[in-house]
Structure 1
Amino acid sequence: MPSYTQEVQACRDAYNAGKMLIVEERRKHLMSLWRLMEEQSEEILAALKKDLSKPKFEGVLMEIAFVKNELVCQLDHLDEWTAPQKVGKNLMTMMDGVFIKPEPLGVVLIMSAWNYPIQLTLGPLCGALAAGNTVIIKPSELSANIATLLEKIIPKYFPSNIVTVINGAIPETNALLKERFDYILYTGGSAVAKIIYESAAKHLTPVTLELGGKSPVYLDPSSNLEIAARRIVWGRFSNSGQTCIAPDYVMCPKGIESEFVRRCKDALLEFFGENAQESESYGRIVNNRHFNRIKAMLNGANIAVGGKTDEKDKFIEPTILVDVKPTDSCMQDEIFGPILPVMCVSDVDEAIAFINSREKPLALYVFSKNGKTVDKIMSRTTSGGITVNDTVMHASVETLPFGGVGNSGIGAYHGKFSFDTFSHKRSCLVKKQAMEGMNQIRYPPYTDKKLNLVTMITGKKPGSRNNWKMWVSVLVLGVLLGLFLKTPSVMQKLKAVLTAVAGL
């Protein structure tokens, strides 16, 4: 088994040297990543084409532009996010400095997935560098051309002790997991996630696990079915259905099923033409193992649209299934391919009951013009994210956290949430070596008199957040301390305390 102790230690030494604590050092590395994205974009697109036959449009928008937008977000807010954050004080710390100081965690391991290998590798790298960490990247071996490319180009832009790439399969992954990291972010399936979580627990290493699951769609009869079909088809069949937040199945009343399927067929014809295999806008399955896994779901299914396959080309036609039952093979695990089952339900309550009977999904989609229906689903279900009257688009909003809940993941990132994920929020209180008389009330010997006074001053009651009460409490604090402790300096400092409160 290989060993990566040397690589991890080099990153740890670089972190301990303290240069990544300097904001401008972080900015320099973020700009290096920007240059990589600018200068290597054609190489990236070519590798994506080899791995997934990914259309240029999807490669630019969903991979390269996504990372560049994440970079700009981190750069634009770097000074703001790295600055100490002042927080509220209590009466006993009114004269002290109280703030939260974001600090880097140390050495971060990013283990990415193959379906969006640039977005899911370099996207979290933005936040990790902005937060001041050194990083080891383990790309998925299934997107082999991207993995090889990253191993080739990363050293051109980063010192190996700041960002390093380690390629390989199961043996290399197992060897990496024997090392101690300060944070691990993994994107992939729940089976491997459990192994990573168990390995991380040995070192009490915190993790973000970006997983998946069967993300449902509820299609309400009030919807414009043409619009709903176009948006669902786009979300399902982009990247040949290999998207963790793609709509996995549709639930709708029987009365609108036929028209919805017809509208989906129209959208597929518009998007990919008569023969999707010849379309430049349609990709391929990543490998033969996944091809056969997906193809097996078609056995015995009622295929309403599509269904053609070509193993040599790793092509599966965009396919829609009807008369789907909860026990069908396509309804057991995440499909992660270009198949869209449509299952009929009687109403929204049955749809909610079905959603809640299963693992919490990474995403949930509702198509409805009825606000009460939308509110009912939002309030009675749980998912990592929810989008109403569209699919997938919530993941593009950098001000929203992206992550799962329960079996669909732990933690979240994107934008500020990436910076926070890779940061430790250090609680800080800075007190001066003065005004010691005010501290006598908390020192031994303890007495009932002291206890009653402290309880009166520091105790809180519901609904007591009124400023005038704070003023009275501060005044009482000063007077009582002066009388109780007979400390003239306390009374002399009372004016300073009141002045401090007035400045809050």
Structure 2
Amino acid sequence: MSNRFTSLLDAQRAHFFSDITKGQAWRMDQLDRMERMLVENQQAFCDALYQDFRKPPFEQLFEITVPLGVIRYYREHLVELMKPQPAPVPKGLEEQGYRGVILKEPYGPTLVIGPFNAPVLLLLDPAIAALAAGNPVILKPANTTPTVAALFQRLIPEYFDPQAVTVVTGGRAEISELLELPFDFIFFTGSAAVGKVVMRAAAEHLTPVILELGGQNPTVVDATANLDVAVDRIAWGHNAISGQWCIAPGYVYVHRSIADEFIARLKRSITAMYGEDPSRSPDFARMISEHDAERVASYILPEKVVHGGRFDVPGCYVEPTVLYPSSWDDPAMQQEVFGPVLPVLPYDDLGEAINAIKHQPKPLAAYIFSKNQADIDRFLGSVSFGGGCVNQTNLHCWIDSLPFGGVGMSGMGKYYGKAGFDALSNTKSLLIGNPDTPLDVFPPYSGKDIARNLSVFAG
């Protein structure tokens, strides 16, 4: 059966085989084109984000400014990132004029599949890293944000040669066809269920992948925490994008001695941010679909609602909701909520809370609010997660110098900044020999001092 997208991949591979993408000029040109597209069409992107699920202005601009910052990083550091890196060799070889070198070379045509929750940022950030590393890119925006996808479909051909960057829109059928092709690298952001599909498809061609997935992200608030700081940062981190943020705090473990005060302050913080009726707030986004609104609303247990609880499925709206006291048997604790419903669990002993967290799938993010360094160290040293914050939420994903990615069920591979360039580059290791110095490691071995010959490989 013919594949609709074979010609797109073939054109990009031919372009890649010309070696033009390996040069600094090509990479800089792609970065410049991406920057122009974002700057010249900023309002169009913001309007599309609002149209698809009423993203508020801050969250709209966030999706533009972050990729622009990524472009700026690569523009400023590209020369350094592309330089051959010296690598140490055993002293015996070094004395004979040998040296080690590490080269970073692009993989080749790369498929980037983006999610709906940040449909500009989480499609373009990986693409920018791939282009900086010298890889042509085929972009697949989320079909559940049709206005954004249509905007990409219109703009990408205006700013890019399709041999360098092209876009494919559509849904499951289009993704399935794309995944049949032998890409040189695949970058997927989305659910763990689809991540498994991507990984199985990639295995057919032994294609390397980065999978940015998700999970139910734990947050711990101990008895020493600054509650005013904690509640504001948790309320915002959890409810931004209507909770549809893969690094959002998924649940809170709060020390029982401060639990009531924590709940009272959290309720005040949510009301201060979104008002008595968040459905009328210009700063609160909608769920992406009726299906997702219905799914998240089903997690609301009326007897445990201490704040919020209202929803409008046809309007794709679920109110910021706090459930307390929650337990591991509750529906909201059985999977990633990915919506504005926050379970809060009391704990008495930090070790018991940590043990419960460790027995769940490894999350993409985790957070702790504490002034007790021993508690902080214990939590960070014991709980495995992709990345996170101490006395803050979510903001680690804005920092170029902090590699971003998951672990276990929350994903594999890291990107951002240098880590992104390295991840989208093949590491080519070289031993540079001295053509004028003999190194006899060849047979016949009879009569030779083999130990002496091999000693040059010792450190």
**Class of the TM-score when normalised by the shorter of the 2 chains:** over 0.9
TM-score by length of 1: 0.88
- 2:228 is the counterpart of 1:217: no
Cα deviation, 1:3-46, whole Å, max 9, x if unaligned, reads: 21111111111111111111011101100101011001000000
How far the C-alpha of 1:299 sits from its partner, in A, is: 4.1
SS of the residue corresponding to residue 439 of structure 1 reads: coil
Tell me how far apart the structure 2 counterparts of residues 251 and 207 of structure 1 sit (CA, whole Å).
33
Verify the 8 A CA contact 2:301 2:323 in the aligned structure 1: no
**Residue 188 of structure 1 corresponds to which residue in structure 2?**
190
How far the C-alpha of 1:447 sits from its partner, in A, is: 3.7
SS of the residue corresponding to residue 439 of structure 2 reads: helix
Tell me how far apart the structure 1 counterparts of residues 445 and 7 of structure 2 sit (CA, whole Å).
54
**Which deviates the most, 291-300 or 171-180?**
291-300
Which of 176, 179, 183 aligns to 2:178? It is: 176
1:232-311 correspondence to structure 2 within 5 Å: 232-311=234-313
SS of the residue corresponding to residue 324 of structure 1 reads: coil
Tell me how far apart the structure 1 counterparts of residues 259 and 451 of structure 2 sit (CA, whole Å).
70
- 2:18 is the counterpart of 1:17: yes
**Residue 443 of structure 1 corresponds to which residue in structure 2?**
442
Tell me how far apart the structure 2 counterparts of residues 293 and 448 of structure 1 sit (CA, whole Å).
77
Which of 306, 323, 329 aligns to 2:331? It is: 329
Q: Which amino acid counterpart does residue 157 of structure 1 have in structure 2?
A: Y
Tell me how far apart the structure 2 counterparts of residues 362 and 143 of structure 1 sit (CA, whole Å).
23
Cα deviation, 1:211-266, whole Å, max 9, x if unaligned, reads: 00010001101111111101100100011100000000001122222111111111
How far the C-alpha of 1:457 sits from its partner, in A, is: 4.2
Which of 383, 386, 401 aligns to 2:385? It is: 383
**Residue 312 of structure 1 corresponds to which residue in structure 2?**
314
Cα deviation, 1:470-489, whole Å, max 9, x if unaligned, reads: xxxxxxxxxxxxxxxxxxxx
How far the C-alpha of 1:57 sits from its partner, in A, is: 1.1
SS of the residue corresponding to residue 11 of structure 2 reads: helix
Tell me how far apart the structure 2 counterparts of residues 158 and 96 of structure 1 sit (CA, whole Å).
43
- 2:341 is the counterpart of 1:339: yes
Tell me how far apart the structure 2 counterparts of residues 439 and 459 of structure 1 sit (CA, whole Å).
14
Tell me how far apart the structure 2 counterparts of residues 299 and 17 of structure 1 sit (CA, whole Å).
60
**Residue 4 of structure 2 corresponds to which residue in structure 1?**
3
**Residue 99 of structure 1 corresponds to which residue in structure 2?**
101
Tell me how far apart the structure 2 counterparts of residues 206 and 257 of structure 1 sit (CA, whole Å).
45
SS of the residue corresponding to residue 376 of structure 1 reads: helix
How far the C-alpha of 1:309 sits from its partner, in A, is: 1.0
SS of the residue corresponding to residue 32 of structure 2 reads: helix
Verify the 8 A CA contact 1:252 1:347 in the aligned structure 2: no
Cα deviation, 1:26-76, whole Å, max 9, x if unaligned, reads: 101100101011001000000000112001111112x10110000101111
How far the C-alpha of 1:97 sits from its partner, in A, is: 4.2
Tell me how far apart the structure 1 counterparts of residues 99 and 257 of structure 2 sit (CA, whole Å).
64
Tell me how far apart the structure 2 counterparts of residues 293 and 31 of structure 1 sit (CA, whole Å).
41
**Residue 89 of structure 1 corresponds to which residue in structure 2?**
89
Cα deviation, 1:443-496, whole Å, max 9, x if unaligned, reads: 222147422213444334xxxxxxxxxxxxxxxxxxxxxxxxxxxxxxxxxxxx
Equivalent residues, number: 456
Q: Which amino acid counterpart does residue 409 of structure 1 have in structure 2?
A: G
**Residue 80 of structure 2 corresponds to which residue in structure 1?**
80
Tell me how far apart the structure 2 counterparts of residues 222 and 307 of structure 1 sit (CA, whole Å).
30
Verify the 8 A CA contact 1:108 1:136 in the aligned structure 2: yes
How far the C-alpha of 1:196 sits from its partner, in A, is: 0.6
1:456-471 correspondence to structure 2 within 5 Å: 456-460=455-459
Tell me how far apart the structure 1 counterparts of residues 254 and 268 of structure 2 sit (CA, whole Å).
19
Q: Which amino acid counterpart does residue 325 of structure 1 have in structure 2?
A: S
Tell me how far apart the structure 1 counterparts of residues 99 and 397 of structure 2 sit (CA, whole Å).
38
1:410-449 correspondence to structure 2 within 5 Å: 410-435=412-437, 438-440=438-440, 442-447=441-446, 449=448
Identity across the alignment (%): 36
**Runs of 5+ consecutive residues of structure 2 not aligned to the other structure:** none
**Runs of 5+ consecutive residues of structure 1 not aligned to the other structure:** 461-504
**Residue 228 of structure 2 corresponds to which residue in structure 1?**
226
Which of 370, 379, 382 aligns to 2:372? It is: 370
Q: Which amino acid counterpart does residue 36 of structure 1 have in structure 2?
A: M
Greater RCO between the two (CA within 8 Å, min separation 6)? 2
Q: Which amino acid counterpart does residue 27 of structure 2 have in structure 1?
A: R
SS of the residue corresponding to residue 218 of structure 1 reads: strand
Verify the 8 A CA contact 1:138 1:165 in the aligned structure 2: yes
Tell me how far apart the structure 2 counterparts of residues 320 and 135 of structure 1 sit (CA, whole Å).
42
How far the C-alpha of 1:298 sits from its partner, in A, is: 1.0
Verify the 8 A CA contact 1:412 1:421 in the aligned structure 2: yes
**Residue 110 of structure 2 corresponds to which residue in structure 1?**
108
Tell me how far apart the structure 1 counterparts of residues 230 and 259 of structure 2 sit (CA, whole Å).
12
Q: Which amino acid counterpart does residue 6 of structure 1 have in structure 2?
A: S
**CA spacing shift, 1:263–1:448, aligned 2, 3 Å:** farther
**Which deviates the most, 330-339 or 268-277?**
268-277
SS of the residue corresponding to residue 276 of structure 2 reads: coil
How far the C-alpha of 1:92 sits from its partner, in A, is: 2.2
Tell me how far apart the structure 1 counterparts of residues 178 and 457 of structure 2 sit (CA, whole Å).
50
- 2:79 is the counterpart of 1:59: no
Tell me how far apart the structure 1 counterparts of residues 447 and 334 of structure 2 sit (CA, whole Å).
64
Name the larger-Rg structure.
Answer: 1
Cα deviation, 1:132-180, whole Å, max 9, x if unaligned, reads: 0100011111111111110110111100111010011111111111100
SS of the residue corresponding to residue 413 of structure 1 reads: coil
Tell me how far apart the structure 2 counterparts of residues 80 and 36 of structure 1 sit (CA, whole Å).
26
Tell me how far apart the structure 2 counterparts of residues 39 and 176 of structure 1 sit (CA, whole Å).
30
Tell me how far apart the structure 2 counterparts of residues 323 and 417 of structure 1 sit (CA, whole Å).
40
Cα deviation, 1:370-414, whole Å, max 9, x if unaligned, reads: 000000011111100121101001111110110000011010111
How far the C-alpha of 1:422 sits from its partner, in A, is: 0.9
Tell me how far apart the structure 1 counterparts of residues 410 and 306 of structure 2 sit (CA, whole Å).
30
TM-score by length of 2: 0.97
**Residue 397 of structure 1 corresponds to which residue in structure 2?**
399
Verify the 8 A CA contact 2:290 2:315 in the aligned structure 1: no
Q: Which amino acid counterpart does residue 23 of structure 1 have in structure 2?
A: Q
Tell me how far apart the structure 2 counterparts of residues 297 and 171 of structure 1 sit (CA, whole Å).
31
Tell me how far apart the structure 2 counterparts of residues 457 and 180 of structure 1 sit (CA, whole Å).
42
Cα deviation, 1:429-448, whole Å, max 9, x if unaligned, reads: 3334322xx323x1222147
How far the C-alpha of 1:111 sits from its partner, in A, is: 0.4
**CA spacing shift, 1:189–1:130, aligned 2, 3 Å:** same
Verify the 8 A CA contact 2:439 2:453 in the aligned structure 1: no
